[in-house]
Structure 1
Amino acid sequence: MNSSQAAFSYAQPLQLTGMRVLPEHIDANGHMNVGFYNVIFDQALDRFFTPFDLDWAYVKRTNLSTFVLETHVCYLQEVVEGDELRFTLQLLGHDAKRIHYFMEMFHAQKGYLAATSEQILVHVDLATRKSCPFLPEHQKLFAAMYEGHSKLPKPPQAGRSIEMGKK
């Protein structure tokens, strides 16, 4: 993490563009297959983490990584081959070893919310395969990010559980 990122204001969720629905993401229904939503959210997270030195170079250099503990995806409107996507990331909580975040996937041109993914991940020492604290600079980053993001409205899909409901 460089000093300009440490001073960055987190008054809004992080933004990411430049991803697209690929032909291999499409299923027999002619839209992105359910499994690829998780894949593309994971790829977006990797891109969000790159400027904060939490990407694959960090894993190779430190032998530390992150594992997702839980995820909840809401599929709101379909996307199809060639659609450009835009993502946001809002930090909902953090401690020394974990972060809780919420991602949104938008159709980049039409602007509609296509899907959301709420996740909790844990920092892991790959040598022991056990959780461990984030490095101090990452803990400071998440504290600063949360300071800003905690003032934002909680996304309506965040914290939901799954059930059919009563009729």
Structure 2
Amino acid sequence: MTVNDGLPEIWREAVRPDWCDYNNHLNMSYYILIFDHGTDRFHAELGLDKDYRLSAGCSTFAVETHTNYLAEVYEGDEVRVTTQLLDFDEKRLHYFHRMYHAGRGFLSATTEIMAVHVDLDERKVVPMPDHIQAKAAELFAVHKDLPRPEQVGRTISIVRK
């Protein structure tokens, strides 16, 4: 089954042999690595790239994540990542990555992330510059009316009957 969320692909890569575990599928830590590669690209599109970090002395820190593993991928499989900006304010970005099998199109995993903008010298959360907030606002204007992913806002618990 092919799934299309209507968002552009921001990252694509193949599952490497050393990323697979004793179950012969992508190990959970490498799902996070692939999502992190997508995060780097997403942040760069907003202007939060290496040049910004060096010139402004600021960066982003993830303060909360929630990952759902939905379908296995294996060595050699190519995966692609899309990103939806769910919300933002002057100090925070709330976004959602989806990872798809690039060839077969199925949704393999999702992760929801809350990131904060940090002054690296002070190690303190600070507002993003106006030009970055403007880029986030422009992107949010496109994403705000997209369907909210069903995995957003989930908590972990055992439901007892």
TM-score by length of 1: 0.88
Whole-angstrom distance in 2 between the partners of 1:72 and 1:14: 22
Matches within 5 A, 1:105-144: 105-144=99-138
Code of the aligned partner of 1:159:
G
Q: Which residue of 2 aligns with 1:80?
A: 74
Q: Which residue of 2 aligns with 1:162?
A: 156
Q: Which residue of 2 aligns with 1:93?
A: 87
Whole-angstrom distance in 2 between the partners of 1:13 and 1:91: 10
TM-fit CA distance, 1:17: 4.0
Contact 1:14 1:90 in 2 (8 A): no
Whole-angstrom distance in 2 between the partners of 1:26 and 1:118: 23
1:35 counterpart SS class: helix
Structure 1, unmatched stretches of 5+, are: 1-11
TM-fit CA distance, 1:149: 0.8
Structure 2, unmatched stretches of 5+, are: 1-5
TM-fit CA distance, 1:121: 0.1
Q: Which residue of 2 aligns with 1:66?
A: 60
Whole-angstrom distance in 2 between the partners of 1:91 and 1:37: 19
Q: Deviations over 1:44-88 (max 9, x none)?
A: 111222233212232122211000000000000011111111111
Whole-angstrom distance in 1 between the partners of 2:153 and 2:127: 24
Which among 9, 15, 30 is matched to residue 15 of structure 1? 9
Q: 1:95 to 1:14 in 2, by over 3 A?
A: farther
- The count of corresponding residues between Structure 1 and Structure 2 is 156
Identity %: 44
Whole-angstrom distance in 2 between the partners of 1:80 and 1:64: 37
Which among 15, 36, 39 is matched to residue 45 of structure 1? 39
Contact 2:79 2:99 in 1 (8 A): yes
Code of the aligned partner of 2:85:
L
